[in-house]
Amino acid sequence: MTASKVTIETLRAMKTRGEKIAALTAYDFPMTRLLDEVGLPLILVGDSLGMVVLGYPDTTQVTMAEMEHHVRAVARAKPRALVVADLPYHSYQTADDAVKNAQSLVAAGAEAVKAEGGAEILPPVRAIIAAGIPFLGHLGMLPHHVLEQGGYHVKGKIETEHKALLADADALARAGAFAIVPELVTPPVAKELTQRVPIPTIGIGAGPDCDGQILVTPDLLGMLPWFSLRHVKPKLNAAEQMRTVVREWKESIVKR
């Protein structure tokens, strides 16, 4: 990786070279600075902030105002990484809404936007790209549909899902998406999808064969001990370390 600003062309070149793309989420200034100092090429201001920052039960309650607030905080770090922001639930139901809300996120500091879905959201996707805003696709398990689907389920296990995922990936690539996030897609299908499309795939819970991986940073750092996820094993027990430090500090104050 070089010291120059990461662009969508950078990510495309990484796929061509077979260089894996490591991406994480950030929602505030200090975490963005830390992640950028490590040299990550992509930072996502995910609507996962609804659960890991704001305490919502899922992402469907996150608003545009909340997304803009956190995008501004991330952008103030002036990261070298490409900053992508999620379009929140019901913010891209029409092409006009999609463009207006994508432009709002860009005005807040995002350099690209992400939305969930394939063929069913092509008109909004095409409108966003036509407006000059880079677009990151998201296929597989779609958190915005968690309520009607009754939870988080792995996709691609049955042939109809397999075919639909490939067709949606083809459609997003043809529409001009610069990359796709396959979430909770069976590893064989994620591998096939990765080999099939000319744009990078950045998987989460989709096996090792995507062009890259993305995780929710608090999950990676073990900051949410109240939740257990099958697709990520924390690399740090930050929650317990934080409790220990605060407990020791508290005791030092009490004993004075």
Q: Indicate which residues carry an active-site annotation.
A: 183
For residue 125, the surrounding DSSP H or E stretch is helix 122-130
Residues 86, 109 contacting (CB under 8 angstroms): no
Name the token pair of 195: 């080999």
* Whole-angstrom distance, CA of residue 96 vs CA of residue 91: 10
Helix H, strand E, coil C: the string for 1-15 is CCCCCCCHHHHHHHH
For the chain, strand residue ranges (E) read 21-25, 42-45, 82-86, 112-114, 135-140, 179-183, 202-203, 212-215
Tokens 């949410």 — which residue?
A: 224
Dihedral class, residue 153 (left if φ above 0, else alpha if ψ from -120 to 50, else beta): beta
Residues for the chain: how many in total? 256
